[in-house]
A and B are shown apart, each in its own frame.
Chain A
Amino acid sequence: MGAAHGGALTARYMPGGTAVHRLEPHVKLVSVLAFALVVVATPVHAPWAPVAYAGYLLAVLTAATVAGVGPGRLLRGLVVEIPFAAFAVLLPFVAGGPQVEVLGLSLSRSGLAAGGGLLAKATLSVLAATVLAATTEPRALLRGLERLRLPQVLVQILMFMIRYADVVGGELHRMRVARESRGFTGGGLRGLRVLGATAGALFVRSYERGERVHLAMLSRGYTGSVPTGPPAPVAPRSWAVALSLPLAAAAVLAAGMLAG
Chain B
Amino acid sequence: MCNKVVVVHVPDGFLDVPTSLATGALAAGTVALALRKARTELDDRTAPLAGLTAAFVFAGQMINFPVATGTSGHLIGAVLAAVLVGPWTAVLCMTVVLLVQAVLFADGGLTALGTNVTLMALMAVVIGYGVFRGLSALLPRTRTGLLTATGTAAFLSVPAAALAFVVLFEIGGTVDVPLGTVAAAMTGVHLLIGLGEAAITVAVVGAVLAVRPDLVHGAARLRTATPLAGRPAAVMEGAR
Residues of A within 8 A of B (CB): 1-2, 4-5, 9, 12, 29, 32-33, 36-37, 39-41, 44-45, 77, 80-84, 90-91, 94-97, 110-111, 114-115, 117-118, 120-122, 124-126, 129-130, 132-133, 138, 141, 145, 151, 153-154, 156-165, 167-169, 171-172, 189, 192-193, 195-197, 199-204, 206-207, 209-211, 213-214, 217, 224
Contacts and interface: CB of A to CB of B under 8 A. Distances in A.
A129 B106 contact: yes
B64 interface: yes
B99 interface: yes
A115 B145 CA distance: 45
Given A40-B17, A192-B203, A161 B51 contact: yes
A158 B12 contact: no
B104 A121 contact: no
B26 interface: no
Nearest to B107: A80
Given A94-B177, A192-B199, A207-B49, A122 B12 contact: yes
A176 to B, nearest CB: 10
Contact of A168 (B31, B59, B63): B59
A7 B45 CA distance: 27
Nearest to A1: B62
Contacts of A94: 177-178, 181-182, 185
Q: Please classify how large the interface on chain B is, using the bins under 10, 10 to 19, 20 to 34, 35 or more.
A: 35 or more
A77 B56 CA distance: 24
A158 B56 CA distance: 13
- The interface centre, meaning the residue of A151, A161, A163, A210 with most chain B CB atoms within 10 A of its CB, is A161
B48 A5 contact: no
Nearest to A43: B174
Interface string B148-170: 00000000000000000000000
B110 A33 contact: yes
Interface of B: 3-6, 9-14, 16-17, 20, 31-32, 35, 38, 44-56, 58-65, 74, 84-85, 92-93, 95-97, 99-111, 173-178, 181-182, 185, 199-200, 202-208, 210-212, 215
B175 A199 contact: no
Contact of A200 (B62, B65, B74, B204): B204
The list of the 6 closest CB pairs from A to B, nearest first, reads A196-B203, A160-B51, A200-B207, A121-B13, A2-B62, A210-B52
A134 to B, nearest CB: 9
Nearest to A134: B106
Contacts of B111: 33, 36-37, 40, 125
A29 B103 CA distance: 9
Nearest to A79: B4
B32 A151 contact: yes
A210 B53 contact: yes
Contacts of A158: 51, 96, 99-100
A80 B95 contact: no
Contacts of A121: 11-14
A29 B173 CA distance: 26
B4 A9 contact: no
B96 A196 contact: no
Given A110-B176, A157-B92, A161-B96, A9 B35 contact: no
